A and B are shown apart, each in its own frame.
Chain A
Amino acid sequence: MKEVTLLTEYTKGVWKNNPIFIQVLGTCPTLAVTVSAINGIAMALATTFVLLFSSIIISSIRKIIPAQVRIASYILIIATFVTIVDLIMKAQFPELSKSLGPYIPLIVVNCIILGRQEAFSSKNGIIRSALDALGMGTGFLIALLILGGIREILGNKTILGFQIMPNMFEPWLIMILPAGAFLTLGLLMAYLNYLVIKKKNREKSQLLAKYRIANNSLPIDEEI
């Protein structure tokens, strides 16, 4: 029983509560860095790192932090880890760090991270908080990968630097410009909504059919 719930702590962030598509949190970095898939991956990994470690720290000291200054303490802890990530990126991946520019430090004000601390880590144990953070990070990674992939394929003919579209395909410049980010995310979310609505309608009609069968069978039974 417990193992199942631990697993759902992880999986809920991946799909059911996906931070981008369902909760619409942290849209600023999502739109800004998804010019290419590799940028999206780097951004998601950096965010997951910060999310994971600040969740662990905050859930382990959640009983010591006074309620009045909790937000300020969360932000300080988050900012510390963001500084660590930024310094590591600058030292190890200078090119990537340059192309992400100010968006790495802006992880500090990413609503996903503060939101998870306030809604989850401040109330739950270390293991659960870590799993929750990893799940949200994975969901964020999936969203950035889809968005970055679409924009890179259509705007640049490549994916992760490898050309996959034929030469005669004219790249859509708009996709790697800011406007393309808004349009792609808008259309993706509309498509997901469409799937959800379709599923709901199907369940509704199935339920209706069942109800009808049950209702029809009653009078027949009575007649017999």
Chain B
Amino acid sequence: MELLLIFFSAAIVNNFVLSYFLGICPFIGVSNKISSAFSMGLATTFVLVLTAIVTWLIYHIILLPYHLDFLQYVAFILVIASLVQFVEMFIKKVSQPLYSALGIFLPLITTNCAILGLALFIVLRDYSFVEGIFFGLGAGVGFTLAITIMAGIREELELADIPEPFRGVPITLIVAGILAMAFMGFSGLITL
């Protein structure tokens, strides 16, 4: 039950994109088409779960016992960067179709704040190993949900007659604001 709460809280109520503002860059950059947005979401979810596992292990097995926790930012970002590289190589070797679907998005994920944010939140909230995995999964599902909805709206926006100053980023931000308002409707659902 506790795990489900963590999952839904990260996915819907405290959506990573719309209420923590993590991962805004890909949210605005890669949300032009539903198919690529969905692939981006899947790739990010995959990396989020892996990050949750690996950073938890590193923090609790290496950093804490040796009192090195002041090194956590340096350690986390290094781990994330090499993890993404590793995942890219692995996917390329194992499944070519998956690589051609996700490949171009993987390097972008390193600088996605959602990944480092997740690692920091897990430390900050003192989640256990399993809780961390569910938190990562929820964050990934929430990110996929938000970016896919956004891409759907933007595909329709292509046809709309938008006033000139609003074209491009401003209208995207305003749509995101309205989406965030819609997601606020979930806020009474779970209180953490």
Contact = CB atoms under 8 A, between A and B. Distances in A.
Contacts of A186: 166, 169-174, 176-177
B21 interface: yes
21 contacts: A24-B169, A27-B25, A28-B113, A72-B78, A75-B77, A102-B120, A106-B22, A106-B116, A178-B18, A178-B184, A181-B21, A182-B176, A183-B173, A185-B173, A186-B166, A186-B171, A186-B172, A186-B174, A187-B170, A190-B170, A193-B166
Contacts of A110: 113
Contacts of B121: 102
Nearest to B162: A190
B25 A102 contact: no
* Residue from the set A76, A105, A187 with the largest chain B CB neighbour count within 10 Å: A105
Contacts of B22: 28, 106
B90 interface: no
Contacts of B117: 102, 106
Given A28-B22, A101-B124, A111-B111, A191 B165 contact: yes
Contacts of B25: 25, 27-28, 111
Interface string A16-35: 00000000110111011000
Interface stretch (B56-64, B66-74, B135-143): B66-74
A11 B167 CA distance: 27
A177 interface: yes
A65 interface: no
Interface string B69-103: 01101100110010000000000000000000000
Nearest to A174: B181
Contacts of B174: 182-183, 186-187, 190
B165 to A, nearest CB: 4
Contacts of A80: 74
A183 B177 contact: yes
Interface stretch (A53-61, A81-89, A152-160): A81-89
Given A102-B117, A106-B117, A178 B180 contact: yes
A31 B77 contact: no
Interface in A165-208: 174, 177-183, 185-187, 189-191, 193-194, 197
Given A101-B124, A178-B18, A182-B177, A109 B113 contact: yes
A27 B169 CA distance: 11
Contacts of B177: 179-183, 186
Given A79-B73, A83-B74, A190-B165, A105 B170 contact: no
Given A28-B22, A106-B117, 4 more contacts: A83-B73, A186-B171, A191-B165, A193-B166
Contacts of A27: 21, 24-25, 28
A114 interface: yes
Interface of A: 24-25, 27-29, 31-32, 71-72, 75-76, 79-80, 82-83, 86-87, 101-102, 105-106, 108-111, 114, 174, 177-183, 185-187, 189-191, 193-194, 197
B5 to A, nearest CB: 20
5 A-B pairs closest in CB distance = A182-B177, A186-B173, A183-B177, A186-B174, A194-B165
A139 B24 CA distance: 20
Contacts of B167: 193
Given A106-B113, A191-B165, A83 B173 contact: no
B39 interface: no
A83 B28 CA distance: 28
